[in-house]
Amino acid sequence: MTAKPSLFTKIRDAALASGLSERAATRKARLLESASFADFVRLTPEQNVKLGFSRKARRYGLKEERETKATLTISARQFETKRTQERFGLTPEQATEARRQGAISYVSADQRERVAKAAMTREENRVVAEIKRTRHVPSNSPDKRRHGRHHRVTPDTEHLYREIRRRKLAGELIPDGEWHWFIDTLGSSKTLVMSCCAARRAHSASR
């Protein structure tokens, strides 16, 4: 397996591509590689644009460095790698798993909320991907009159699934008709049958 380029190599290559000399690029790369995560600051949307990135880019530069077209930055991934390595001696993935298990704490309540929302979106996307591969969703309603029926998957299925799920997670009582449709749709995802069962229990407990 080919080893991934080091942070030093990536920064040095970017510096050379920007027109810096070999000597200047090496010096710059060593400076950014050796700097602590605390020495960096996230760029503003205006700074991103000035340096050739999109306004929403997550780029970080040294706090004390004067901003010019030759300013070098690191990505959000590189910044997080520095931070978790310095604070915990872990990779970002290892730190995420450690937080889930309670071994290390979140930096803030905001970070905890962002992580939870990202996990929710990933789960929704997994279900939606499976739904899109299915033309019809079989009914699993406790109402025997509905047995053998199927829901046709339409372009609106994804939107309706996400809407009902988020309403439920917000604590809203979902009407039976919508809830049966949701359970049928969720049950069609083979990878999330357990989620389907848990959702049924949560709905029953709330009624």
pLDDT tens digits along 63-119: 978 777 778 899 999 999 999 999 888 888 888 888 777 777 766 667 667 766 777
Average pLDDT, whole number, for the chain? 77
Flag whether pLDDT at 173 surpasses 90: no
Tokens of 62: 């040294």
Position 88 scores a pLDDT of 87
Token pair of 68, please?
């010019």
Does 30 share its domain with 117? no
Closest to 179 measured CA to CA, from 149, 206, 145: 206
Does residue 189 form part of some domain? Answer: yes
Residues 101 and 113 in one domain: no
pLDDT at residue 135, as a whole number: 61
Cα Rg of the chain, angstroms: 24
Q: Are residues 161 and 184 in the same domain?
A: yes
pLDDT at 191 exceeding the cut of 50: no
Q: Domain for residue 26, yes or no?
A: yes
Position 136 scores a pLDDT of: 60
Percent with pLDDT over 70 in the chain: 72
Helix 109-132, helix 157-169: angle, nearest 10: 150
Cα separation, 101 vs 83, whole angstroms = 19
Q: Is 39 a domain residue?
A: no
CB 74 within 8 A of CB 59: yes
pLDDT value at 193 more than 70: no
Residues 171 and 194 occupy one common structural domain = yes
**Given this model, what pLDDT does residue 150 score?**
61
Helix spans in the chain (H) = 7-17, 22-34, 45-50, 76-88, 92-100, 109-132, 157-169, 176-187, 193-206
Instruction: Looking at the structure, tell me whether residues 116 and 201 fall in a common domain.
Output: yes
- Going by the DSSP 8-state scheme, the letter that residue 5 receives in this structure is P
Residue 110 — φ and ψ, nearest 5°? -65, -40
- Tell me, yes or no, whether 116 and 157 share the same domain: yes
Residue bearing the bigger pLDDT, 36 or 18: 36
Q: Are residues 101 and 119 in the same domain?
A: no
The count of structural domains within the chain is 3
> Is the domain of 86 the same as that of 122?
no
Length of the chain as a residue count: 207
141 pLDDT tier (thresholds 50, 70, 90): low
CB 49 within 8 A of CB 57: no
C-alpha pair distances (Å), 187 with each of 35, 136, 148, 158: 50, 12, 15, 14
pLDDT digits (tens, 9 = 90+) for 148-168: 566 666 777 777 888 888 888
Once rounded to an integer, what is the mean pLDDT over residues 49-63? 92
Q: Which of 55, 52, 30 is nearest to 44 (CA)?
A: 55
Rounded to two decimals, the pTM is: 0.54
Range of the domain at 96: 74-105
Task: Give the pair of three-digit tokens for residue 29.
Answer: 């790369």
Q: Are residues 189 and 113 in the same domain?
A: yes
